[in-house]
């Protein structure tokens, strides 16, 4: 989700300064991988102790298939076990990975990737055909890839996904095993950032076709990344081991990664303090909010800004939330400053728009924080339009986390005290929560969005169509769609920014979600942990991680 926009967005984005890692401890939050061509580290001695890294991801990943991965939990597993044409460095810039070279045509429409010699974890060679197969598979109309729209930059991809073109018409072809040619719909300056995202990862065609459930168990999981899956004890633990077939295995220092699945933040923190985990908190899990001041004051807390928004999406298709004035009343009445000051506590920025600080267009926002008087007026008008004198209780759902629970309770109290609206809280296991939101089986739903690439298009495009991928609100607007279409081909940064601004205004006028704040990652880590890469988009990469004595 991320990256190299200097050629395109120049003055528009301020990611360089906003996304620089900061920490209240002396531990680094990112490390830059060694440059290509540098000498490999010396082999470990025969008596060296195997390097083990232990962390927690809170819940069972919905999948370990890059074509189906759709959230941070699955993404962390997929990013550790797979590799793309490019991979992000510590500054969220794409660097060559499976591709050893890329040539771009003068018109910026054709990318020719030369693949290095690399292998799958079962020893099969990784070829250009694996990438083409993976992309066509993800675009299959019945496959269910909710990130299929990330492939729309490739020529004919959207038509294929909608069943209006044949898969063989995709603008991607294997010239030979080591040469992949990709033709785009329009010049896309951040395309090399996209190729580092997991929807663009390859899959082993032979393995997938032999067993459609290949990605559900460790025994059948085949990948091409720094680590391979050794064990998957469902609802309990995932074990990864160094992949001896990985093309860059000499820089991989960890021998084994053990990832627990513990929902309770307090339990995870206790395990960390007892030496049972080497990492607790984001981007993998969470920390109990009550512990944050103590951890911060002790100099143990790492705080890392990122291009992430904390939201509450609204089901606009039924009930009182189908009325835009009711939706606005809820959004306007929220006191975000009190929430970030007293609950999240580590520098989150109240944000009255849909975009995070690194790509924000209207800095002052589209409404005022804690504007109770306007909210009351909108609520009254909305209830008249619905011809009701009282609203039925509204249900707010969230996935397990101490922070999510406390923020939901704060909203419940604010809406009751300020607007007289009864809100019922419901916690759902993460996979169920996300699936229910996709199926519009909710009223108000907590969700966060980590940028896939640092450009407003990444946020705006998910709401292009009411029934597509990650929209989850049922909302769509023809004018909004037209503005995004124009922005996708506009090469002038200022004109493009203007188009995005007009689109965001339409979106915020409709209020399909309640924006809360631009988020940060916070965690604690063992003094022995080095080299874990957390970039400005909230991605964690364990390729360069190590455990020191």
The segment(s) of the chain belonging to CATH 3.10.105.10 are: 303-521
- What are the structure tokens assigned to 59, written together? 């819940």
Query: What single DSSP character describes residue 344?
Result: I
Angular region, 474: left φ>0, alpha ψ -120 to 50, beta rest: left
The Cα–Cα gap between 457 and 451 comes to 10
- For the entire predicted model, the pTM comes to 0.78
Write out the H or E segment, with its range, that includes residue 338.
Answer: helix 336-339
Pick the CATH number of 63-220 from 3.90.76.10, 3.90.180.10, 3.40.50.1820, 1.10.3720.10: 3.90.76.10
Helix (H) or strand (E) holding 395: strand 394-398
pLDDT digit string, tens, across residues 102-137: 999 999 999 999 999 999 999 999 999 999 999 999
Please give the pLDDT value at position 15: 30
CATH code 3.90.76.10 region(s) in the chain: 63-220
Residue 12 neighbours by CB distance under 10 Å: 17
pLDDT of residue 44: 53
Low-confidence residues of the chain: pLDDT under 70 = 1-47
pLDDT score of 46: 55
Q: What is the pLDDT of residue 268?
A: 96
Q: Is 312 helix (H, G, I), strand (E, B) or coil?
A: strand
Distance CA 434, CA 399 (A): 8
Alpha helices in 233-323 (DSSP H): 265-273, 292-297
Q: Mind giving me the DSSP string for 66-87?
A: TTT--SHHHHHHHHHH---SEE
Q: Which of 161, 108, 102 is nearest to 135 (CA)?
A: 161
Which pLDDT score is estimated for 134?
Answer: 98
Tokens representing 412?
A: 């419940």
DSSP label of 539? -
Superfamily of domain 303-521: Dipeptide-binding Protein; Domain 3 (3.10.105.10)
Model pLDDT for residues 328-384, shown as the tens digit of each residue: 999 999 999 999 999 999 989 999 999 998 899 999 999 999 999 999 999 999 999
Please state at what angle helix 493-510 crosses helix 324-332, rounded to 10 degrees. Answer: 100
Residue 537: predicted pLDDT? 81
Report the pLDDT value the prediction gives residue 392, as an integer from 0 to 100. 95
Dig out the tokens for 87 from the structure. 């991979």
Token pair for 427:
């916690």
Cis peptide bond prior to 457, omega within 30° of 0:
no
Q: List the structure tokens of 463.
A: 């709401």
């Amino acid at each position: 989700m991320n990256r190299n926009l200097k050629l395109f967005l120049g003055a528009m984005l301020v990611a360089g300064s906003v996304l620089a890692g900061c920490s209240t401890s002396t531990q680094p939050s990112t490390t830059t991988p060694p440059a290509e061509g540098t000498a490999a580290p010396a082999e470990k001695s025969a008596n060296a102790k195997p390097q083990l890294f232990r962390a927690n991801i809170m819940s069972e990943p919905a999948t370990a298939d890059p074509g189906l991965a759709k959230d941070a939990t699955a993404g962390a597993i997929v990013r550790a076990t797979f590799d793309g044409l490019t991979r992000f460095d510590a500054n969220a810039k794409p660097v060559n990975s499976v591709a050893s070279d890329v040539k771009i045509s003068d018109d910026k429409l054709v990318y020719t990737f030369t693949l290095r010699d690399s292998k799958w974890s079962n020893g099969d060679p990784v070829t250009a055909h694996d990438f083409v197969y993976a992309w066509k598979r993800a675009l299959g109309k019945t496959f269910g890839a909710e990130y299929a729209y990330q492939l729309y930059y490739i020529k004919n991809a959207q038509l294929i996904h909608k069943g209006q073109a044949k898969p063989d018409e995709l603008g991607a072809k294997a010239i030979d095993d080591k040469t992949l040619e990709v033709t785009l719909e329009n010049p896309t300056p951040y395309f090399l950032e996209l190729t580092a995202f997991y929807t663009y990862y390859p899959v082993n065609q032979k393995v997938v076709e032999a067993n459609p459930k290949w990605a559900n168990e460790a025994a059948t999981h085949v990948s091409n990344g720094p680590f391979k899956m050794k064990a998957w004890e469902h609802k309990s633990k995932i074990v990864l081991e160094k992949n001896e077939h990985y093309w860059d295995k000499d820089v991989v220092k960890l021998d084994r990664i053990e990832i627990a699945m513990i929902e309770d933040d307090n339990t995870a923190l206790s395990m960390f303090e007892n030496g049972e985990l080497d990492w607790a908190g984001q981007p993998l899990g969470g920390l109990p909010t009550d512990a944050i001041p103590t951890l911060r004051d002790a100099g143990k807390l790492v705080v890392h800004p990122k291009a992430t928004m904390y939201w509450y999406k609204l089901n606009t298709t039924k009930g009182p939330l189908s009325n835009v004035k009711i939706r606005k009343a809820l959004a306007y009445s929220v006191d975000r400053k009190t929430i970030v000051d007293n609950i999240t506590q580590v520098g989150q920025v109240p944000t009255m728009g849909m975009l995070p600080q690194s790509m924000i267009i209207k800095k002052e926002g589209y409404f005022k924080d804690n504007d109770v008087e306007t909210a009351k007026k909108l609520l009254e008008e909305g209830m008249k339009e619905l011809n009701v004198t009282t609203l039925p209780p509204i249900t707010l759902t969230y996935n397990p986390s101490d922070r999510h629970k406390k923020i939901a309770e704060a909203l419940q109290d604010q809406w009751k005290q300020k607007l007289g609206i009864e809100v019922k809280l419901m916690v759902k296991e993460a996979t169920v929560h996300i699936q229910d939101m996709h199926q519009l089986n909710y009223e108000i739903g907590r969700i966060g969005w980590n940028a896939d690439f640092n450009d407003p298009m990444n946020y705006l495009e998910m709401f292009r169509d009411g029934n597509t991928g990650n929209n989850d609100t049922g909302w769509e607007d023809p004018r909004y769609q037209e503005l995004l279409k124009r922005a996708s081909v506009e090469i002038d940064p200022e004109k493009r920014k203007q188009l995005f601004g007009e689109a965001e205004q339409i979106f915020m006028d409709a209020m399909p979600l309640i924006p809360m704040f631009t988020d940060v990652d916070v965690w604690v880590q063992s003094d022995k942990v080095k080299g874990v890469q957390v970039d400005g988009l909230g991605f964690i990469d364990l390729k360069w991680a190590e455990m020191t004595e």
